Amino acid sequence: MKRIFLVPLAFSLGAGAPAAARPNIVYMMADDLGIGDVKCYGGDRCQTATPALDSLARDGMLFSDAHAVASVCVPSRIAIMTGRYAWRFKPPAENGPWGFLNPRLETDAFTVGRMLQQAGYRTGYVGKWHLGTLMATKDGKNQGLENVAYDRPLKIGPNDYGFDYSFILPGSLDMYPYAFARNGRFVGNVTARKGWSAFNRVGPAEESFEDYAVLDTFAGEADAFIARNAAQAKDGKPFFLYLALTAPHTPTSPSPQFEGKSKIGLYGDFVEETDDTMGRVLRALEKNGLAENTLVLATSDHGAASYAGNIRKATAGQIRDLEKLGHYSRGIYRGYKFTVYEGGLRVPLLARWPGKVKAGSRCDRLVGLNDLAATLAAIVGLELGDNAPDSISFLPLLEDPAADPTRGSLVMQSPLAFAVRQGKWKLALTPSSGSRGMWGTKPVPEQAWGDALRAFGGTPAAADLRRAPFVQLFDLEADIGETQNLAAARPEIAARIVALLDEQIARGRSTPGAKLSNDVPEVAVHRNARLWLER
């Protein structure tokens, strides 16, 4: 079977983007930041101050219907980096625990970094990586808790995916090893054992590594990258900076200067420090005279975690305690991280591009974070060919937020289920939250599937599992809170969306073009996306 991401890339420069007109690009992504954590989205239901993100809405465009394609980190980040749904990729043969995750992508895969590098951009990646690395080991075996040779360079890291410069934490901030790697080499002496408040995962750590200092470190690295590349950027060689923050993902660990700053406690402190970190990047652009010719995009990888809050230890459902203080991380939506609901999948997306994007504008069209690749390709004048087959440019919307919709549908997933948007309709191929329910996400699979089986009144065939009572259908125009399941009342809509999903699986793409192949057989796609079979 042909694998299109293992052949040499074949881009051709378009005529519409002369080198002098190409903007610098800064893509900033928070980790587990809920749409309601951002003041310009949450309004009166948001009790955190987010002046940096709010400034992007004031000076640029706010997208109200932007979505991650997964409500959990890794598949969301794969789709952003490649413009391809994560469930199309072949799972890695081996895996290490937590931050010892093995590479999720082949080293010659298409990435936004490689695309822009080929277009003449200086590319940098700073922050949480979580797409897997291959570490040198003392025994030649798969990387793990005891055998990594931290004094030797990574065999595979961000620099192998199209980034000229990288400074990363391999996984999330609550995932060992707790050590930074610069351009494939670990920084400092990884000889300590540490663990952090949320899950207390104790593992290898650099001697001086502290969880509360990570955001400051990333901000300093981003500032330095911008400063190093400022002169060349002014001479027509632009840069691309991908900044992936580790917050407000647990451990909820604001720095001492932010602790006690917000109105709602520890979680609010961390959100406000996350916003300030993005603000430092905006100030670095201003300081270096680059703000006017830089496209800034800011977002989150998915919705807020229900186990995060003012208790440092991960605690089921504690984020709801913030609602008693008037703060709703999920905004007006249902659900959290790990679920098929909007609170887990709808994310803030803000864009500032002086002279190109109208200040104070708002776009209500559907977009996906996987659309980054096609959008940037259009901006710099590149032809993607068959690369990024699930990415659709929203450049027309940046130019005119009321333009015709660029995207008609979007396939999303939770750890256990697909969810598909088509226009105002959304279908979840599960009767549950799409999550195991261990962190207070409801309805839990055992109860929801039991109720559905009793309602069905027999043993369902495979086809039965794709309609009521085993699926959920919502009209988001009339019911943004996803309170009314219309699957039984509108079976023709559910059937139409199921057919759309089947067609996009079979074609290996969701964009126009010749049929492509998934890296896994069609019959395995649902298993690869970890659907109801794991209930």
pLDDT, tens digit, 9 for 90 and up, residues 114-161: 999 999 999 999 999 999 999 999 999 999 999 999 999 999 999 999
User: Do 360 and 450 fall within a single domain?
Assistant: no
Write down the mean pLDDT value for the chain: 93
The candidate with the shortest Cα–Cα distance to 21, out of 293, 230, 398, is: 293
Q: Tell whether 256 and 345 lie within a shared domain.
A: yes
Both 297 and 320 in one domain: the answer is yes
- Assess whether pLDDT exceeds 90 at residue 12: no
Alpha-carbon distance of 119 to 132, in angstroms, equals 25
Instruction: Give domain status of residue 127, yes or no.
Output: yes
Residue 484 CB neighbours (<10 A): 12
Q: Do 254 and 397 fall within a single domain?
A: yes
> Is the same domain home to 398 and 424?
no
Residue 282 lies in a domain: yes
Average pLDDT rounded to a whole number, residues 454-461: 94
Beta bridge partners of 392: none
Look at residue 5 and tell me if it is in a domain.
no
The reply to whether 50 and 115 lie within a common domain is yes
Q: Which H or E run includes 75?
A: helix 73-82
**373 and 420, same structural domain?**
no
pLDDT in tens, 466-496: 999 999 999 999 999 999 999 999 999 999 9
* Same domain assignment for residues 347 and 390: yes
**Is 11 part of a structural domain of the chain?**
no
Same structural domain, 233 and 351: yes
* pTM for the whole structure: 0.95
Residue 9 resides in a domain: no
**Cβ(409)–Cβ(31) below 8 Å:** no
Query: Is 147 within the bounds of a domain?
Result: yes
The total number of residues written for the chain in this structure: 535
Q: Are residues 354 and 460 in the same domain?
A: no
Number of domains in the chain: 2
476 and 371, same structural domain? Answer: no
Nearest one of 297, 320, 309 to 249, comparing CA atoms? 309
Indicate the residue among 344, 370, 402 that finishes a domain.
402
CATH number at residue 491: 3.30.1120.10
Going by pLDDT thresholds of 50, 70 and 90, the confidence category of residue 361 is very high
Residue 177 has pLDDT above 60, yes or no: yes
Dig out the tokens for 333 from the structure.
């939506």
Please indicate, yes or no, whether residues 175 and 311 belong to a single structural domain of this protein. yes
Q: How many Å apart are CA 198 and CA 426, to the nearest integer?
A: 33
Burial class of 391 by CB neighbour count within 10 A (0 to 12, 13 to 18, 19+): buried
Write down which residue in 374, 402, 430 finishes a domain.
Answer: 402
In this predicted model, what pLDDT tens digit does every residue of 248-264 receive, in sequence order?
999 999 999 999 999 99
Q: DSSP of 173-208, one letter per residue?
A: TTSS-B--EETTEE-S---EEE--TTT---EEE-TT
Which structural domain, as residue segments, surrounds residue 221? 22-402
| Domain stop point among 375, 402, 429 | 402
- The mean per-residue pLDDT over the stretch 277-303 comes to 98
